[in-house]
Every structure is written in C-alpha cells, then in structure tokens.
Homo-oligomer: A and B are copies of this chain.
Amino acid sequence: MKASAQKEDLSIPRTMKAWVLEGPEQLRLIEKPVPEPGPAEVLVRVGAVAICGTDVEIITKGLPAWIEGGLPFNKNFTPGHEYMGTVVKVGVGVDEYGMGDRVAVEIHAGCGRCERCRMGMYTSCLNYGLNYGEKNKGHRANGFTTDGGFGEYAINHVNTLVHVPDEMSDEEATLIVTAGTAMYGLDVLGGLIAGESLVVTGPGPIGLMSVAVGKALGAQPVILTGTRDARLNLGTRLGADYVINVQREDPVEAVKRITRGKGVHYVMECSGAPNAMNEAMEMVNRGGRICLAAFPGEPVQVDLAKLVRNNIYVFGIRGEGRSATHRAAALMAQKRFEAKLIHTHTFKLEELPTAFRYFRERIEDAIKVVVKVH
C-alpha cells in the first residue's frame, strides 16, 4: 500500500540480495551492487514478483537460444519479469515517474530505432537482446536480456512501467503484466469484441486473464476450455459464460453446441496443447481469428488448408505490446475483474526455490506464486 510505502525507508544501499542463475537449475542468492539508472531509466525497489512459466524455461534451459548473442548462463544474471515495486531513484530526464511512485512492469523496451520499433511494434524489436557494449541499441527485455526482479532492486526503462493505484496490493500488481498480455491478444484479434464470441483454450494465468479481460470488454459468450475443474471454476468466477472440461467433452463439439453450430469469432490459444491449433481452426467460423499466446514444444501436425479455405488469420504474440499493459492496468484499477483470484501462494525472497517448486509441481493447485521482496 502506498501509505506504508511512503513510510518506508527509500534510502538505497550499496549492495543488495539477488538471485542469479549460474547454470541449469542453479539459482544462487548473492549480494551484488545495486545498479544505477541511466537516462530514461529508474531504479525500482522490488515489492513483489510473480513466477511465470517462462521463468522456468529460462532456469532450465538458460536464456533462449533465439536471443541473438544470448549468454545462456552468464553467472551474474538475475531473472524474474513479473514484478512491481517503488521508484527510489530516477535517471536524467525522467519525470514520467517520481520518487515513491508505485509501479508495475511490462517486459519489453524496444530499441526505438529499428523498423519495427519505429512502427510501434516494440515487442518485435529487431535489436532484441542488444543492450550491451558496442552493440548497445538500448533494447531491454526485463528478466530476459537484462536483470529482472528476483532481487531487491531492478532497473527499468520508463517504457516498461505502469502506475499502480494505492488500493491495489503488491501481489495483485504483479498480475498486471499477465492481464496486459491477455489484453494485447484481444487487441491483435481486433479489439472490438463487445458482443462477439470468444473461446479461450487453456486456463493458465494468461488464459484466465484472457477470460477476465474479454468479459470486461463485453465479449459474449466467453467459453473456457481446460482439463481441471478447479481452474475452470476459477474461469467462471472471472467471467466465463461456459466452461468445457476437455476430458469429458470434445471441445470443438461443445463450442459448436453452445454457438448453435455457428462457431466463434475469436480463439485465444493459451494451452500450448499439440492439437490446439487444429481445434481452434474448427472452432472459429469463416473469417475467424486465432491468437497464439502459447505453443507446443515440438512441431505439430496442422491442417493448413483450413486457414486458406476459411480465410482464417493467426496472430502469434510474445508478451504484451502496444501499451496493452496500461489498458489492462486501467481495467484492474477500475476493479472490472478480480485478478487476485489467480494469486494462490506467497513466499519470501529467500524462499524462491520453494516458490518455484510450488509453481512447477502445482502444489496445492498453485497458479500464481508470488515472492514478496520488500
């Protein structure tokens, strides 16, 4: 809460505790220098940080091979990208955020100079990963290519920040970026979804937030598919009009039944299941649109003929572009849905390995596991 935050000591120590990734599955809590914000940057005193599936990938496989110049295990890298906190220092020229402001983060700050960034497509930055040395183009992906939030302090470019209202808890604020990804997915699907039909496949955090944001914007009906009733019930509480347990009913048939054979306008694919793409193509009607926010680990069989014959468009998204995080935060600030329903567990910074275990093994049905840092 801001009230208490303001009472907190905002003085900045010289060093801080932070987890670093030393090798596959090798996280170590060390003491390292608190970094200095440059121009257009701020220093954030981390309040809380949530664990995301991508964190698990990074911890097991190192920084993704698809990041050019990615240094898988650089010994000093601090992951964590779903965090929030308080601004405790600002760089030159920063007045967008001030001392003591509560902020949540989004991941990508584009270089601002490649073709994609100039068109506003900063999550498709062509200088991805280039934030170092002579090739420094200014791109940052918090917790991917630059140090993230599993530590006491983190640097953020102002483009990756969003204000957090006083009434919102630290834990809930860590979910803003997840809601932002859901919002962005709905944006690329067209954005005008009041009264349009939407299937969300996969009740993970992004799927559940897609249900919530979709319903907040008036989609009707919102249909959620998944394998576990507990998650589906959560979907209902977040706004799903129908839930389908794919272990009990064929999801394509169920969607056809609910829509009286017509199919839906939009599918947000958040499961990464091998057959999800084929099912999505069966769920949408002619001219329908599919957003892929998840993907299977291996290549899968896809019947591309359906895309062509039915004029279907497919949009891959990585993360949360076009300031969607700000729009999602606005809905959350207006209490349009209860994002905090998906927050299930809280641990201390020192307990990060336990937090990961809860998340990975879904202990006690864990969904969003949050580490409270300050």
Contacts and interface: CB of A to CB of B under 8 A. Distances in A.
A308 B316 contact: yes
Interface stretch (A5-13, A70-78, A286-294, A347-355): A286-294
Contacts of A123: 311
A323 B119 contact: yes
A125 interface: yes
B124 A287 contact: yes
Contacts of A157: 113
A182 to B, nearest CB: 12
A27 interface: no
A112 B117 contact: yes
A4 interface: no
A84 to B, nearest CB: 17
A242 interface: no
Contacts of A53: none
Nearest to A220: B330
A217 interface: yes
A29 to B, nearest CB: 30
Interface stretch (A131-139, A225-233, A243-251): A131-139
Contacts of A192: 187, 191, 327
A277 interface: yes
Nearest to A330: B195
A302 B305 contact: no
State the oligomeric state as a number of copies.
Answer: 4
A366 interface: no
A363 interface: no
Contacts of A28: none
A213 to B, nearest CB: 9
Nearest to A333: B220
A93 B304 contact: no
Interface in A188-238: 188, 191-192, 194-196, 216-218, 220
B285 A126 contact: yes
Interface in A310-362: 310-318, 321-323, 326-331, 333-334, 336
B313 A318 contact: no
A37 B31 CA distance: 38
A296 B287 contact: no
A201 B114 CA distance: 26
Contacts of A167: none
9 contacts: A66-B309, A93-B135, A112-B159, A123-B311, A125-B286, A194-B331, A195-B328, A277-B302, A295-B304
Interface of A: 39-40, 64, 66, 92-93, 95-96, 110, 112-113, 115-126, 128, 134-138, 157-159, 183, 187-188, 191-192, 194-196, 216-218, 220, 262, 277-278, 285-287, 292-318, 321-323, 326-331, 333-334, 336
